[in-house]
Amino acid sequence: MGKVTVGVAVVGAAAVCAAAALIARHRMRSSSLCVKAADILKELEEKCATPAAKLKQIADAMTVEMHAGLASEGGSKLKMLISYVDNLPTGKEEGVYYALDLGGTNFRVLRVQLGGKSGIEFTEFAEVTIPPQLMIGTPEVRFSFLSQLMQNLLSVQFALFDYIASELAKFVSDESEKFWLPPGRQRELGFTFSFPVNDTVGTLAGGRYENSDVCIAVILGTGSNAAYVERAQAIPKWHGPHPKSGEMVINMEWGNFRTPEMSAMHHDTSADLKVVGNTLKDILGISDTSLSTRKIVVEVCNIIATRGARLAAAGILGILKKMGRDTVRDGEVPKTVIAMDGGLYEHYTGYRNCLENTLHELVGDQLSQHIKLILSNDGSGIGAALLAASHSRYV
């Protein structure tokens, strides 16, 4: 991507560390009467600045990388994974569908009753913890000879899959009478994993089920990612026959992670900023901070959150540009709805507002009236069930 880096994540831990460095630097220089805290904050703000011109440059770089990632595997810093999801829900689906949400140490099984135009009628789920021995194997497996290693590893994998299947069977057997299937149909299952069908693709499916104009999904939470609907003919690395829909969902895998500490500190409204003080003590071991120090930390959080939100908006603009939805064409303005999920977007009000305002700033007044961000929860669960419905053998 050259000299332009597309970074859409706010790393909470980095914010805390920056605050700690700021505090340490302030203490050191205060003793020598060199620099005031306000000067340090100003310096940080200047270095974290994201003017609109720079954001548009980042969006352009994002679009270039998207083209490169669609052209060949490994040709871009963006993976641009083909999800093989070529049909998204229409809102007309009926029947009961199951979903399997595979996590790290546990998994969820869900069933969703779809009622056509009446939408989602019922949902039920169960969360199952995976026994540790099925995750890592026994000591004998870990330290066996190489000739036996693959056989042992396969044995562990089969045992894990058997366990997941048995728990799923138990869940299905408990299905109540309020869940029903149209005559002549069998139950169908969708699942989400890390890739290519993950929670972001599921969020796109969930958003499309509620609103037919949804064509992009963005996750801003513990992790960050985006997915969007691409024209099949615009994917050079796709060598198979084009799907009947002419479209394919692309899982971008734009990456990075964040932690909740910054949000908690930024939302601290207590008179003594107790949450800030406790976070500095628990995370960094900095105790007995003064109120003035805690106020500095809040300012640092604000600076970094603003930077992160504006960079996220630039990432979204890059997708809009790739899809040709960033300009008015022939007097027509396409309506674009973006499905959003993740705790950072849902619960971090300052971040969410900054992101939306920045996107408005970047696309302008006329276009922003036709771009809408909506919250779409549980893409990894309900979204997976909706994907099973949209790809049903009976459709």
What's the pLDDT band for 296 if we cut at 50, 70, 90?
confident
Q: 200 and 308 in contact (C-beta within 8 Å)? A: no
> CA 76 to CA 318: how far, in whole Å?
15
Which tokens hold the place of 208?
């499309």
Average pLDDT over every residue of 119-123: 93
What's the pLDDT band for 58 if we cut at 50, 70, 90?
very high
pLDDT above 60 for 383: yes
Residue in this structure with the two tokens 């615009």, named with its chain if needed: 234
- Is the backbone of residue 342 left (phi > 0), alpha (psi -120 to 50) or beta? left
What's the pLDDT band for 50 if we cut at 50, 70, 90?
very high
Catalogue all structural domains in the chain, each as residue range(s) with its CATH number. Answer: 12-80+218-375 (3.40.367.20), 94-193 (3.30.420.40)
Average pLDDT over every residue of 131-137: 71
Which tokens hold the place of 119?
């939408």
Q: What is the pTM of this model?
A: 0.83
pLDDT above 80 for 287: yes
How far is residue 301 CA from its own chain's centroid?
21
Query: Which residues have C-beta within 8 Å of that of residue 262, sequence separation ≥ 6?
Result: 10, 12, 15, 16, 301, 304, 305
pLDDT above 90 for 343: no
Q: What is the pLDDT of residue 314?
A: 96
pLDDT, tens digit (0-9, with 9 covering 90-100), for 229-242: 999 999 999 988 88
Q: What is the pLDDT of residue 119?
A: 92
Average pLDDT over every residue of 19-29: 53
pLDDT, tens digit (0-9, with 9 covering 90-100), for 311-324: 999 999 999 999 99
pLDDT above 70 for 145: no
pLDDT above 90 for 284: no
Q: 347 and 170 in contact (C-beta within 8 Å)? A: no
**Enclosing H/E stretch for 189:** strand 188-192
Q: What is the pLDDT of residue 134?
A: 73
